[in-house]
Amino acid sequence: MEASDATRRVEGGSESIDARSRDFLIETFTDLRDDLADRMRKGGQGGPDSEKAGRELAIYEALLAGLAQRETFPDDEAVRQYVGGLATATDAENQYEQAALEHRAFAELVAALAAAESSPATGGSASSPR
């Protein structure tokens, strides 16, 4: 049985990224690139440092090429560091650790309640707490 394009994962390069994740990443890096390019065009005081902005634009272009054209990603430490930093900042902004804790806690509670319901020690009853 062959998996659909949306769920197929092939190890190596950008092919190991799920189609929905790929679409999200393409949209994100396109928006970041376009925003940075716009800020560079406007320039002026408070605009981005041109050297740093040039490096970031190159990173966005490399990532977009790998994602959109399903190429391999560049073996570039700057790209890895940038993406790692972005992932860390995104997790902090979205309170990922808290969301993961809440998800795990409720999943464990649901499993414990299901186990208690079918346990012979409780008589298999789903009655109210005593």
Domains of the chain, by residue range, sit at 8-75, 76-115
Res. 73 pLDDT band, cuts 50 70 90 = confident
**Apex CA 54: angle with CA 48 and CA 55, to 5°?**
110
- Taking the C-alpha atoms of residue 114 and residue 59, their distance in angstroms, rounded to an integer, is 48
> 């408070």: which residue's tokens?
46
- Taking the C-alpha atoms of residue 22 and residue 31, their distance in angstroms, rounded to an integer, is 14
Q: Is the pTM of this model over 0.75?
A: no
- Taking the C-alpha atoms of residue 104 and residue 68, their distance in angstroms, rounded to an integer, is 34
Res. 70 pLDDT band, cuts 50 70 90 = confident
Mean pLDDT lowest for which of 7-11, 48-52, 55-59, 107-111?
7-11
- Taking the C-alpha atoms of residue 8 and residue 10, their distance in angstroms, rounded to an integer, is 7
Mean pLDDT lowest for which of 7-16, 40-49, 69-78?
7-16
Reading the block at residue 74, the tokens are 């560049």
Reading the block at residue 106, the tokens are 């409720």
Residue from 34, 100, 90 nearest 61 by CA: 34
**Radius of gyration of the chain from its Cα atoms, rounded to whole angstroms:** 23
